[in-house]
Amino acid sequence: MLTRKRIAALAVTSLLLAGHAVAADKKVVAVSIPAADHGWTAGIVYHAQAAAKEINAAFPNVDVVVKTSPSATAQVSALEDLSAGRKLDALVILPHTSEELTTPVKAVKDAGTFVTVVDRGLNDPSIQDLYLAGDNIAVGRNTAKYMIDKLGGKGNLVVLRGIPTVIDDERIKGFQDAIKGTELKVLDIQYANWNSDDAFKLMQDYLAKYPQIDAVWANDDDMLLGVLEAVKESGRKDIKLALGGNGMKDIVKKVIDGDAMTPVETPYPPAMIKTAIYMTVANLIGQAPIRGNVKLDAPLITQENAQEYYFPDSPF
Partner 1 sequence: MTVMTDMAVPRPQRDWNFSWTDVGPFLALVALLMIGFAINPDFLSGTNLANVITRSAFIAIIAVGATFVISSGGLDLSVGSMAAFITGITIMFMNAMAPAWGAMAIPMGMAVAIGVGLLCGLMNGLIVTVGKIEPFIATLGTMGIFRALITYMSDGGTIPIDRTLRDAYRPVYFGTVGGIPYPILISIAVAAVASIALYKMKYGRKCAAVGANEDVARYSGISVISTRTIAYAIQGACVAIAAICYVPRLGAATPTTGVLWELQVITAVVIGGTALRGGKGHIWGTVAGAVILELIANLMVLSDFVSEYLVAGVQGVIIIIAMLIQRFSK
The smaller minimum CB distance to partner 1, of residues 109 and 161, is found at 161
> In one letter, which amino acid is 225?
L
Q: Could you tell me the smallest distance in angstroms from the CB atom of residue 96 to partner 1? A: 15
Candidates 6, 20, 154, 209: give the one binding partner 1 (CB under 8 A).
Answer: 209
Beta bridge partners of 68: 33
The smaller minimum CB distance to partner 1, of residues 142 and 156, is found at 156
The smaller minimum CB distance to partner 1, of residues 63 and 259, is found at 259
Quick check: 191 binds partner 1 (CB under 8 A)? yes
Binding span for partner 1 by CB under 8 A among 31-39, 111-119, 142-150, 278-286? 31-39
> In whole angstroms, how far apart are CA 255 and each of 18, 210, 243, 261, 301?
54, 27, 10, 9, 8
Binding span for partner 1 by CB under 8 A among 20-28, 196-204, 290-298, 302-310? 196-204
Integer Rg of the chain from CA: 24
Contact, 30 vs 92, CB < 8 A?
A: yes
Quick check: 143 binds partner 1 (CB under 8 A)? no
Binding span for partner 1 by CB under 8 A among 85-93, 143-151, 173-181, 189-197? 189-197
Contact, 103 vs 137, CB < 8 A?
A: no
Quick check: 204 binds partner 1 (CB under 8 A)? yes
Q: Which of 289, 284, 296, 305 is nearest to 87 (CA)?
A: 284
Q: Could you tell me the smallest distance in angstroms from the CB atom of residue 265 to partner 1? A: 17
163 C-beta neighbours (distance < 10 Å), count: 12
Quick check: 222 binds partner 1 (CB under 8 A)? yes
Quick check: 75 binds partner 1 (CB under 8 A)? no
- Give the DSSP letter string of 22-61: HHHHSEEEEEEEE---SHHHHHHHHHHHHHHHHHHHH-TT
Q: Could you tell me the smallest distance in angstroms from the CB atom of residue 256 to partner 1? A: 16
Q: How far apart are CA 234 and CA 211, in angstroms?
A: 12
Q: Could you tell me the smallest distance in angstroms from the CB atom of residue 211 to partner 1? A: 9
Quick check: 212 binds partner 1 (CB under 8 A)? no
Candidates 41, 69, 75, 246: give the one binding partner 1 (CB under 8 A).
Answer: 41
Q: How far apart are CA 115 and CA 124, in angstroms?
A: 12
Q: How far apart are CA 310 and CA 287, in angstroms?
A: 31
The smaller minimum CB distance to partner 1, of residues 45 and 122, is found at 45
Q: How far apart are CA 249 and CA 313, in angstroms?
A: 9
Quick check: 259 binds partner 1 (CB under 8 A)? no
Question: Which residues make Cβ contacts (< 8 Å) with residue 54, sequence separation at least 6?
Answer: none
Quick check: 53 binds partner 1 (CB under 8 A)? no
Quick check: 107 binds partner 1 (CB under 8 A)? no
Question: Which positions lie near partner 1, rule CB under 8 A?
Answer: 35-39, 41-43, 45-46, 161, 164, 188-191, 194-197, 200-202, 204-206, 208-209, 222, 225-226, 229, 233-234, 250, 314-316
